[in-house]
Structure 1
């Protein structure tokens, strides 16, 4: 985890927990509180109470609630981006790599549901300049999907009528929505969801003759039959 810009220098020592250990604990609790109460409903007092600290003690680590949200969002984005960049760099043609990225992205979101929800729900709570700082330039996250679609089109693997920018927005928008209805132990596993979404996306983009004629396989249902929440 990077050194947060909004954190104050820790004074003193004694028998207190090491600063980085306490920061990691603060980070985890803040993420949970933002998830449970939303940014507007959460307060530094809520976070301090759950940590068993006085509210004033938080200022050893953070300057404001906004700074704390910024650090949570930045770390969620950093981890997610690192995940898809690594997946996109693996061997294979652009469509194969796009499939891997979609599957891995869904799995990462579902495995980090609390942080994902905070990130996708609370981005608008930050000023635009801080949002841009997190997302990076032309949205580094979306650029991974855009690059793969563009390369696939250049190689003749993606249909000529596909607009890469619109396609990347559509892919990321539909895949990101999974967090709204996925529940651990529900009807489908993250892998099943990721594979099904990936097959649908790749088949919708692929040029004629690039892929086998078979339609995307229907995922097998698990034992539980809980319907997705709307």
Structure 2
């Protein structure tokens, strides 16, 4: 990514966050980015495409991380651990992008919205697939309904955007460890099995159960 393109994105994130998508013009973005309209349109066809890129950046990241976890690990336990870790970290890595996403996603053009939805659906499917794989192989509790379990994980992690602060009490690494711990503890069949897999895979739990 070119320096100017990154500058335009970073500047627009601040402007959209402060004034809303419709409260910002291309002229204002150009002026705040210290560039020209030619510089802007060299990288983005329109303000609408810029909004799409902001949305697409963090969704693409978390999807690629999930795909990498699926390839790297053969067992569903480290797979789900890696997916949760990267999913939590996205709320720190792309905090401004996500803030603008939740504020301005209604203004995405239909063609862009469809592309974003496609990636979000693919990530959701990957969460469901790893849970289902773990249940079939006997690693995860089979009595847990797949859809409820998958949506619980997605909802729990997605809510981070509402309360996470970089200057807060806990670092994103600590939060990621707690969330991984919580997910593994409710997925694994029982305390004895949980301790076994913890030992065998050296899962870095943030705290230990009594």
**TM-score, normalised by the number of residues in structure 1:** 0.74
SS of the aligned residue for 1:211 comes to helix
Instruction: Tell me which of 95, 104, 121 is aligned to 1:122.
Output: 104
Matches within 5 A, 1:21-60: 21-53=3-35, 58-60=40-42
Matches within 5 A, 1:5-154: 20-53=2-35, 58-91=40-73, 93-136=75-118, 139-154=121-136
The offset of 1:179, in angstroms, is 2.0
**CA shift in 2, pair 1:217/1:56, >3 Å:** closer
CA distance in structure 1 between the aligned counterparts of 2:56 and 2:63, rounded to whole angstroms: 10
Instruction: Tell me which of 171, 174, 178 is aligned to 1:192.
Output: 174
**Residues 20-42 of structure 1 deviation map (CA, whole Å, 9 limit, x = unaligned):** 44333222322332233332333
**CA shift in 2, pair 1:124/1:163, >3 Å:** farther
**Residues 140-169 of structure 1 deviation map (CA, whole Å, 9 limit, x = unaligned):** 121221111111111112222222222222
The runs of 5 or more residues in structure 1 that have no matched partner are: 2-19, 220-230
Check the 8 A contact 1:87/1:104 in 2, yes or no.
Answer: no
The runs of 5 or more residues in structure 2 that have no matched partner are: 199-204
The offset of 1:126, in angstroms, is 1.2
After TM superposition, the structure 1 stretch with the greater mean CA deviation from structure 2, 85-94 or 146-155, is 85-94
The offset of 1:69, in angstroms, is 0.5
User: In structure 2, what is the equivalent of residue 12 of structure 1?
Assistant: none
By percentage of residues, which structure has more helix? 2
CA distance in structure 2 between the aligned counterparts of 1:122 and 1:83, rounded to whole angstroms: 25
CA distance in structure 2 between the aligned counterparts of 1:34 and 1:115, rounded to whole angstroms: 10
User: In structure 2, what is the equivalent of residue 211 of structure 1?
Assistant: 194
**2:164 is equivalent to residue 175 of structure 1:** no
CA distance in structure 2 between the aligned counterparts of 1:138 and 1:189, rounded to whole angstroms: 26
The offset of 1:54, in angstroms, is 5.0
SS of the aligned residue for 1:186 comes to coil
**CA shift in 2, pair 1:41/1:187, >3 Å:** same
Q: For the aligned residues, what is the CA RMSD?
A: 2.7
**TM-score, normalised by the number of residues in structure 2:** 0.81
Check the 8 A contact 1:150/1:164 in 2, yes or no.
Answer: yes
